[in-house]
Amino acid sequence: MKILEALREVYGLPRTALRHRAPWELLVATILSAQCTDVRVNEVTPALFDKYPTIGDAAEAEPAELEQIIRPTGFFRNKAKAIRESARRILEDFGGKVPETMENLTSLRGVARKTASVVLQAAIKPDGPHDGVVVDTHVQRLARRMGLVPSTWTNADKIERRLMEVFPREQWDLSFTFIEHGRAVCSARKALCDECVVRDLCPRRGV
**Domain holding 158: CATH number?**
1.10.1670.10
Residues 146 and 67 in one domain: no
User: Residue 104: which domain range?
Assistant: 23-124
CA 78 to chain CA centroid, Å, is: 18
Question: The CATH number of the domain where 41 resides is what?
Answer: 1.10.340.30
- Has residue 29 been placed in a domain? yes
Check residue 202 and give its pLDDT: 87
78-89 pLDDT, tens digit each: 999 999 999 999
Report if residue 157 sits inside a domain. Answer: yes
Residue 82 sits in the same domain as residue 171:
no
Give the pLDDT of residue 149: 95
**pLDDT attached to residue 38:** 95
On whether residue 201 sits in a domain, the answer given is no
Per residue of the chain (207 residues), give pLDDT as tens. Answer: 789 999 999 999 888 999 999 999 999 999 999 999 999 999 999 999 999 999 999 999 999 999 999 999 999 999 999 999 999 999 999 999 999 999 999 999 999 999 999 999 999 999 999 999 999 999 999 999 999 999 999 999 999 999 999 999 999 999 999 999 999 999 999 899 999 999 998 876 544
206 within some domain: no
What gap in Å lies between CA 160 and CA 151, rounded to an integer? 14
d(C-alpha 28, C-alpha 83), whole Å? 6
- Domains in the chain: how many in total? 2
- For residues 15 and 118, what is the distance between their CA atoms, to the nearest angstrom? 9
Among 100, 124, 148, the domain-final residue is 124
Q: Annotated active-site positions, please?
A: 114, 136
Assigned domain for 114 exists: yes
Amino acid in position 60: E
Rounded alpha-carbon distances, angstroms, from residue 204 to 146, 164, 165: 6, 21, 20
Do 161 and 141 share a structural domain?
A: yes
